[in-house]
């Protein structure tokens, strides 16, 4: 393999053969292709794209660079869901225990906050003691025992993606639909799934805000899933406002527990039900959407999903007292109320601004080494379309200091636009299947 020749071919619009992708990716994962050559190739992919055959070969090679979860003899379907990232999105915390209660095996592998978006691992680690770095063996044992586990990418899963992702992050080569699709799907397929539901976000707070790009990403990932025998479905959901009221790690855990207790906010529950129904269907645990929804609702009303979340927390070393006592979660020192500055209708709650404000409060990372403060964030009760009066409380700010809270109030004033009504986009705009 002569790497400069491969880069040259891609640069000039040609295609690499499956065997060339394989050799290149495995050599890169093994350390024998340097970052500077891989960076040049990645930039050529950003500009030239990949043919269907090349995408399959790249994803396959990334998958084969590591190990897979093995489920021999398991008598339950294995399912997961993946979100392309947003603000206030805590649906994973509800769905893993709900689906486990309904008969699925859920080895949910998630990420940390990226850019302005929150990450499921950071939310879980807000629970005192919770350990997200399980080994593959620990993960499969736990899923066999209680039906679910919530973990980070282990060193054995798609190591080529781990290296490639870190390189893309610093070479401006993240925003490529085939590269995003191969990256996400190589990790998901390594979980040995029977079914996968993709929550592809659209709107100003999404990584790919436009619907056309979101659709293409969804279709690309569905194609990869189907060609690996994993039934894959996608929903396009709105990320032009935060999901639910809470944004910030411990606050989101508290809201997820409220959801598992039957008291979640309507928008969070609408997206959770929709994703859960699709998970039940790809898992073939229900014959239609109505039956799936009834079983999911029953998992909440019976208290079984909430109890399952407690088992999951305990199994991963966390303090299950958080289920009954929100004070067992990290608490902010300063809580300030934010009032509507004028009469009018809430036109926008801008998720990117909210996500960045959480980082400014210390609840996300500015550099990879930053330690996240789990206690800080916002609870925003005003939703787009709500009529508010000047002086009415519409949010609370959870901060470490008064100065930080003042900065966050400024951010809220920018993020929450009040004026004449604006059409509210639907929460779930499309369902995409193979
Ligand atoms: N998440 C991933 O895992 N990979 C990407 O490329 C983008 C988001």
pLDDT at residue number 170 = 83
What is the pTM for the complete model shown? 0.95
CA distances from 101 to 191, 263, 291, 301, 370 (A): 19, 18, 15, 12, 36
Give the residue, by CA position, lying nearest to ligand 1 atom 7.
180
Rounded to whole angstroms, the Cα distance separating 50 from 115 reads 26
* Sequence-separated (6 or more) residues with CB below 8 Å from residue 275: 81, 91, 95, 197, 199, 235
* Sequence-separated (6 or more) residues with CB below 8 Å from residue 311: 97, 146
- Choice from 153, 174, 175, 182 to test ligand 1 binding pocket (greatest atom count within 8 A of CB): 174
Give the residue, by CA position, lying nearest to ligand 1 atom 1.
184
Instruction: Please name the CATH architecture into which domain 79-325 falls.
Output: 3-Layer(aba) Sandwich (3.40)
Place of tokens 């060339």: 20
3-state secondary structure of 348: strand
Cα of 162 to ligand 1 centre, how many Å?
10
Residue 311: exposed, middle, or buried by beta-carbon count in 10 A (0-12, 13-18, 19+)?
A: middle
Element spanning 189, H or E: helix 177-189
Rounded to whole angstroms, the Cα distance separating 286 from 304 reads 18
Cα of 183 to ligand 1 centre, how many Å?
6
pLDDT at residue number 174 = 85
Cα of 141 to ligand 1 centre, how many Å?
27
Query: Would you write out the chain's pLDDT as a tens digit for each of its 434 residues?
Result: 899 999 999 999 999 999 999 999 999 999 999 999 999 999 999 999 999 999 999 999 999 999 999 999 999 999 999 999 899 999 999 999 999 999 999 999 998 887 788 899 999 999 999 999 999 999 999 999 999 999 998 889 999 998 998 899 888 888 899 999 999 999 999 999 999 999 999 999 998 899 999 999 999 999 999 999 999 999 999 999 999 999 999 999 999 999 999 999 999 999 999 999 999 999 999 999 999 999 999 999 999 999 999 999 999 999 999 999 999 999 999 999 999 999 999 999 999 999 999 999 999 987 767 889 999 999 999 999 999 999 999 999 999 999 999 999 999 999 999 999 899 999 999 999 99
The topology (CATH level 3) of 3-64 is 1.20.970
> Which residues form the catalytic set?
82, 161, 168, 183, 187
pLDDT at residue number 365 = 85
Rounded to whole angstroms, the Cα distance separating 430 from 316 reads 35
Q: Which CATH class is domain 331-419?
A: alpha beta
Report the length, in residues, of the chain: 434
Rounded to whole angstroms, the Cα distance separating 88 from 411 reads 16
Rounded to whole angstroms, the Cα distance separating 313 from 130 reads 7
In the chain, what are the domain boundaries? 3-64, 79-325, 331-419
């Amino acid at each position: 393999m002569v790497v400069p020749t491969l880069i040259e071919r891609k640069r000039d619009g040609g295609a690499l053969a499956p065997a060339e992708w394989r050799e290149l990716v495995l050599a890169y994962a093994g350390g024998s292709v340097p970052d500077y050559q891989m960076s040049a190739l990645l930039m050529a992919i950003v500009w030239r794209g990949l043919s269907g055959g090349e995408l399959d070969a790249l994803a396959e090679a990334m998958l084969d660079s590591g190990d897979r979860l093995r489920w021999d003899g398991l008598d339950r379907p294995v399912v997961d869901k993946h979100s392309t990232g947003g603000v206030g999105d805590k649906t994973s915390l509800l769905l893993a225990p709900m689906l486990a209660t309904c008969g699925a095996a859920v080895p949910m592998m998630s990420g940390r906050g990226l850019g302005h978006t929150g990450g499921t691992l950071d939310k879980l680690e807000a629970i005192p003691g919770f350990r997200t770095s399980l080994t593959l063996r620990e993960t499969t044992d736990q899923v066999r025992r209680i039906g679910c586990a919530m973990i980070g990418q282990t060193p054995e899963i798609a190591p080529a993606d781990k290296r490639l992702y870190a390189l893309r992050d610093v070479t401006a080569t993240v925003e490529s639909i085939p590269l995003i699709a191969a990256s996400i799907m190589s990790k998901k397929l390594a979980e040995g799934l029977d079914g996968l539901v993709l929550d592809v976000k659209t709107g100003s707070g999404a990584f790919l805000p436009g619907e056309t790009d979101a659709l293409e990403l969804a279709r690309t990932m569905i194609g990869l899933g189907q060609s690996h025998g994993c039934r894959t479905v996608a929903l396009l959901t709105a990320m032009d406002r935060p999901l639910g009221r809470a944004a910030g790690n411990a606050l989101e855990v508290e809201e997820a527990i409220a959801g598992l207790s039957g008291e979640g906010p309507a928008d969070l529950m609408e997206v959770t039900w929709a994703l859960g129904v699709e998970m039940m269907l790809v898992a073939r645990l229900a014959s239609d959407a109505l039956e799936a929804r009834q079983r999911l609702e029953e998992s909440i009303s019976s208290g079984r999903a909430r109890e399952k979340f407690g088992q999951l927390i305990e199994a991963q070393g966390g303090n299950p007292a958080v289920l009954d006592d929100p004070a067992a979660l990290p608490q902010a020192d300063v809580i300030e109320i934010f009032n509507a500055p004028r009469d009018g209708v809430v036109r926008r709650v801008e998720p990117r601004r909210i996500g960045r404000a959480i980082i400014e409060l210390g609840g996300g990372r500015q550099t990879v080494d930053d330690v996240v403060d789990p206690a800080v964030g916002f609870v925003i009760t005003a939703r787009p379309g709500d009529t508010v009066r000047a002086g009415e409380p519409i949010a609370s700010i959870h901060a470490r200091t008064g100065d930080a809270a003042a900065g966050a109030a400024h951010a809220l004033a920018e993020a929450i636009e009040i004026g004449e009504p604006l059409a509210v986009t639907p929460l779930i705009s499309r369902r995409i299947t193979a």
